[in-house]
Structure 1
Amino acid sequence: MPETARLMKIVTVIVNCCNEKSIGSGKIAVLPRDDCVRISTKEQSEAAIL
């Protein structure tokens, strides 16, 4: 997948999660890694969305 498409997918997931939950609620964690971005929710703290 081209870098731009990957970035857009990541941003879309983050924005959708923020729209579904209240921003600042601590329920969404975005953790940058060397080769990916891990996005998880408090309800599923062990499961990454991306």
Structure 2
Amino acid sequence: MPVERDELLTIEEAKARLAVLEAGYRAKSKALRAYIRVLEADGKEHANDE
């Protein structure tokens, strides 16, 4: 969802795009935190450790 230099956005449109990006990053960071907790609970350094 990059903004081209010649693309003009209203403040509302820019805020909406920002909200979508922030929500995506929050979801990814939550998923990664959960994954790390699982690995730590299992005492594994890598997901494929035996």
TM over 0.5: no
TM-score bracket for the superposition, by shorter chain length: 0.3 to 0.5
**Greater CA radius of gyration, 1 or 2?**
2
> Where is the strand percentage greater, Structure 1 or Structure 2?
1
TM-score by length of 2: 0.41
TM-score by length of 1: 0.41
> Where is the helix percentage greater, Structure 1 or Structure 2?
2
